[in-house]
Chains A and B, each alone.
Chain A
Amino acid sequence: MIKINEVTKSFAEKKVIQNLSLEVKNQEILSLLGPNGCGKTTLLNILSGLTQQDNGNIYIDDVLVSGKTGTKKVHFKPSERKVGYVFQTVSLFPHMRIEDNIAYGLKAQRLSKQEVKKRTTELLDFVGLREFARFYPSQLSGGQKQRTALARSLATEPQVLLLDEPVSAVDPQLRESFRLELKNYLQTLKITVLYVTHNLSEAFIMSDRIAVMGNGHIEQIGNRTEIFDKPSSKHVAQFLGVNAFKGTAVKASSGVLEVEVNGVRLLACSTLNLAGKAVTITIKPEDIMLSTSKSPKTSFIGGVGNYIEGTLTEMVQMRSTAQVTVDVGFLLKARLALSLIRELGVNVGDKVYACFNADALNVFAEGGD
């Protein structure tokens, strides 16, 4: 279990971590998701003991490893924290063979030669690299190097594992399979994992819960559905690629909220009484449909929904989907199957209707960005 309590860190007067608190449950895999430069790696370095925070306390399995207790200052060395750390840059010892890389921490613990050999072999088997034991890191692929780094970090039997964008060092065409491999390893290990990434789908694949980090603090924490369906701020929504707009709640009745965005009226399901208040509205691109007429093929759930007339301004085609932008008075991004686009026969510049259920809209009071 990791507990971070109001941690602050500045570099040359620039605040990188600001009053950050976070708890990772025992044996939980928590992804720390955020854009580059938001302080994710600094947080890992603080947890590992490689960097010392200015303020705040760090607990690992209820033991204060860094911070203050009363007037007494505590700062455990990295090797004393029972933390394994897999760095973004792989960072294997290039002058040592794979088996020696893995055995490094065991030798430092002055274990017997037989014990070192036994545990190194077990770890080589665990990551499927036994036949590469005598190789040097330069002779391995990106994925094999990261597996070695994982095995090396596990050698000292840590209670907590920190992974800093471990997939980024792997060749792009092999990342998908490596992600699944890594997930299997992590699920087998049953230890507390803090997994740093800026990749949305990676966070969703790897973890039990996700913490979205921005500007040096945790903006939202929850499971996939909570984060994606109900982003807590405009910043989180934008980072997740979710549409986010500012508007004003005009009227609330029978669980339906009428919201005005740039002169366009939207209906949203909400039990909150936000009438008259400035609000932020978010909607996932996947929840928006396109139609060429005002009578879509699908009917709205609960009979409440939105048809908004607009112009298709951009279409980016992917393998099986397309991301389209519709100007409805504000820019609305939708993700649709390519087959549907072909069926509709729409192109950039065409008039279309953006259609979405009222319950697809997430509305919260302004101030969350």
Chain B
Amino acid sequence: MSNKIVIVILAIIVLTYFLFVLLPIVAVFLRIEPSQVNAQLHNTVILEAIKLSLFTSGVATLIALVLAVPTAYFMATRNFHGKTIIDTLIDLPIVLPPAVAGVALLYAFAPKGLLGPILNRLGLIIPGSTIAVIIAETFVASPFLLRSAKTGFENMDRDVINSAKMLTGSRLRVFVTVTLPLSVRAIISGAMMTWARALGEFGATLMFAGSLAGITQTMPLAIYLLLYSDPLAGVMLSIILIVIAFSVLIIVKLIEQKRYGAKK
């Protein structure tokens, strides 16, 4: 087979795949007229869903930062028996079907779940609350941050860290002034991916938190319901999520490309 034929076949395959990814996205954008956008942006259901989604995904990302970054550092810098098993368990929510994640969260946090008795005593009923949405989003999305931060810590030049250790006896100082700044790009990328994933969370939230307008009805849940009652509003929300996802990916790529002192 000549080189030209190989290139033509490859070009056809690439084009087909590109169209396959692009077509559904274009289809969504074509369902709404530019003149209808402004009216939809004043739709109460849309605004409530956006507000709730931004709040829950923001809190979920913050929780992930607090819990996943130190865990990532620990996993990247320590060796212990059973590390591979722990590592795999932490990653599990990434590949777990969302419905399974919802069921698992119910059996953990519902009144009759594992932590049910404790939560009942504290007067907390998690399922059906905004807290349930945050828990579902954190559970499903935080491994993205953990993975990215762990890779960042692991790929760090050990000699750079050792150089800092030669000059200061404070581990905290080394972590704050060298380790953290050098892995900050990986952490930001991971946080962005976590936020985007939390924003788009559907299955686990529906199973665990339900779909109550203003309380648990996030953007993806609202899209699901609006497509039957108010399709245009559903399309508008879909477009917003597509734009957010695209922006996040672009920002992550730009962060990864940036080099210190590349331009002066």
Contacts and interface: CB of A to CB of B under 8 A. Distances in A.
Interface of A: 48, 50, 77-80, 83-85, 87-89, 91-95, 104-105, 108, 135-139, 149, 152-153, 155-156
A136 B261 contact: yes
Contact of A79 (B159, B165, B259, B264): B165
B181 interface: yes
A105 B168 CA distance: 6
B264 A139 contact: yes
Interface in B229-262: 259-262
Contact of B164 (A84, A93, A155): A93
B167 A156 contact: yes
B43 interface: no
Contacts of A139: 261, 264
B160 interface: yes
Nearest to A106: B167
Contacts of B181: 95
A50 B169 CA distance: 12
A94 B260 contact: yes
The 3 tightest CB contacts between A and B, nearest first, are: A136-B261, A105-B167, A108-B168
Interface of B: 157, 159-160, 162-170, 173, 177-178, 181-182, 259-262, 264
A85 B261 contact: no
Nearest to B162: A50
A135 B167 contact: no
A108 B159 contact: no
Given A95-B181, A108-B167, A138 B162 contact: no
A89 B169 contact: no
Contact of B166 (A85, A88, A95): A85
A91 B260 contact: no
A123 to B, nearest CB: 13
Given A135-B261, A135-B264, A136-B260, A92 B160 contact: yes
A85 B181 CA distance: 22
Contacts of B264: 135, 139
Contacts of B165: 50, 77-79
Contacts of B157: 89, 91
A306 B65 CA distance: 77
B261 A87 contact: no
A262 to B, nearest CB: 47
24 contacts: A48-B162, A48-B166, A77-B165, A77-B169, A78-B162, A79-B168, A79-B169, A80-B169, A91-B159, A92-B160, A92-B163, A93-B160, A93-B163, A94-B160, A94-B260, A94-B261, A95-B182, A104-B177, A108-B167, A136-B260, A138-B260, A138-B262, A155-B167, A156-B167
B162 A87 contact: yes
A78 B166 contact: yes
A16 to B, nearest CB: 17
A108 B260 CA distance: 23
Contact of B167 (A88, A104, A137): A104
Nearest to A87: B159
B167 A152 contact: yes
A139 B263 CA distance: 9
Contacts of B167: 79, 104-105, 108, 152, 155-156
